Amino acid sequence: MPGTSAAKEEGFLYNNWYVAGWGTDLAPGERVGRTFLNQPVVLFRTQSGEVSALEDRCCHRALPLSFGMVEGERIRCSYHGLEFNTQGKCEKIPAQDKVPSTACVRRYPLVERDSLMWIWMGEPALADETAIPAHPWHANPRFRWKSFHYDIQGNWELMIENLMDLSHLPYIHAQTIGGNPELHFGIKTNSTRDGDVVRVSRHMPNSEPPPTYKTAKGFTGKVDRWQEIEFMPVLIRINTGACDADTGAYEGKREHGFSMVGFHGITPETETTTHYFWSVATDALADGVPEKVFQQTADTFREDQEVLELQQLRISAEPDRPLLDIASDVGSRQARQVLRRLMKAEREPGMVAA
Ligand code: FES
Ligand SMILES: [Fe+2]
């Protein structure tokens, strides 16, 4: 059956909250230029701690504002010194007394929450802060977590497909989270859809723990293992872990075991490049999470990065060639359907800012 996959690079979903970065990316007085959905944006934090996202293009002569400096509560263009407040309004032109009302740059709604910065790239009037997905693990004292930002030379939907189909684990991640390939054969993948949320789960009862799990928890015998994936536009949360076999993992008794909660914020940069903001939180050991667990996780996602970038090379060479879907694509196919429906809806006139 021919699949559409991400081969066609069918554009972006604009009216949606995307991860723009980690709160720790910006100390007071710092700024950074990033591109989201082909739009250049400057993110900055004022001296008082407020974060703002503006178009990264001065309205005077188009120099990127990220080339400038944060001055108090404003960002100053470094060419002729125009200063813009957090709303994108120019408040100072050094060479003249009056600032025309047209002196402004586009502001993007930006919200800092759960240690993440969320940006809205579509129609500002539609930005509803209550729709930002919560990620309480970043504030849960039982968990330790680390954050990462990878720049992927691949289309954003390839990343979604990768995370929604974990049947690649024993092949790509044999040395880390994958474990023995035979464990993965014959595991039933359940996929359900609830509105715009797609959930995929796989259970591996009475199985051999993979290397990362042994490192984290010191399992010696067989385990009941789970992989539970939740997609919503556009992030994926993956809850994986294991308990000693037959100790209640599948009835929800998991606190005595090992859990890892992965947060995967997938933000398109261009059609063929993606910001991948991810974190992993784990409740592994009472006396501290071995650094090796984080390192192995980081290595795991570098393995995925390599795969995506190789895929993109082939896809870019022949973008119109179809790809084949197989049974394990069920989750990514459902995620794609959600995205296609939302993208189609917002192409209706008046739904996306010009
Ligand atoms: S280009 Fe920004 S002040 Fe002139
Ligand atoms: Fe992977």
Ligand nearest to the CA of 168: 2
Residues 6+ apart with CB under 8 A from 142: 283
> Can you tell me the distance from the alpha carbon of 168 to that of 157, in angstroms, rounded to the nearest whole number?
16
Residue 285: the pLDDT is: 60
Q: pLDDT per residue over 79-119, tens digit each?
A: 999 999 999 999 999 989 999 999 999 999 999 999 999 99
Question: Closest Cα to atom 1, ligand 1: which residue?
Answer: 61
> Can you tell me the distance from the alpha carbon of 259 to that of 242, in angstroms, rounded to the nearest whole number?
7
Q: Cα(169) to centroid of ligand 2, in Å?
A: 6
Residue 272: the pLDDT is: 96
- Which ligand 1 atom is nearest residue 63's CA? 1
| Residue 148 beta carbon below 6 angstroms from any ligand 1 atom | no
pTM for this predicted structure: 0.91
- Other CB atoms closer than 10 Å to residue 180's CB: what's the count? 12
Domains 17-131 and 141-347 share a fold: no
Q: pLDDT per residue over 221-234, tens digit each?
A: 999 999 899 999 99
Q: Which CATH architecture has domain 141-347?
A: Alpha-Beta Complex (3.90)
Question: Closest Cα to atom 3, ligand 1: which residue?
Answer: 80
> Can you tell me the distance from the alpha carbon of 16 to that of 166, in angstroms, rounded to the nearest whole number?
26
> Can you tell me the distance from the alpha carbon of 93 to that of 219, in angstroms, rounded to the nearest whole number?
65
Do 272 and 31 form a contact (C-beta atoms < 8 A)?
no
| Residue 90 beta carbon below 6 angstroms from any ligand 1 atom | no
| Residue 63 beta carbon below 6 angstroms from any ligand 1 atom | yes
- Collapsing DSSP to helix, strand or coil, 345 comes out as helix
Q: pLDDT per residue over 1-42, tens digit each?
A: 344 554 444 689 999 999 999 999 999 999 999 999 999 999
| Residue 79 beta carbon below 6 angstroms from any ligand 1 atom | yes
Q: pLDDT per residue over 238-275, tens digit each?
A: 999 999 999 999 998 988 888 889 999 999 999 999 99
Residue 48: the pLDDT is: 98
> Can you tell me the distance from the alpha carbon of 80 to that of 351, in angstroms, rounded to the nearest whole number?
36
- Collapsing DSSP to helix, strand or coil, 138 comes out as helix
Reported as a pLDDT band with limits 50, 70 and 90, residue 177 is: low
The topology under which CATH files domain 17-131 is Rieske Iron-sulfur Protein (2.102.10)
> Can you tell me the distance from the alpha carbon of 228 to that of 200, in angstroms, rounded to the nearest whole number?
6
Can you give the residue ranges of every domain in the chain? Answer: 17-131, 141-347
| Residue 93 beta carbon below 6 angstroms from any ligand 1 atom | no
| Residue 266 beta carbon below 6 angstroms from any ligand 1 atom | no
Q: pLDDT per residue over 318-331, tens digit each?
A: 999 999 999 888 89
Reported as a pLDDT band with limits 50, 70 and 90, residue 169 is: confident
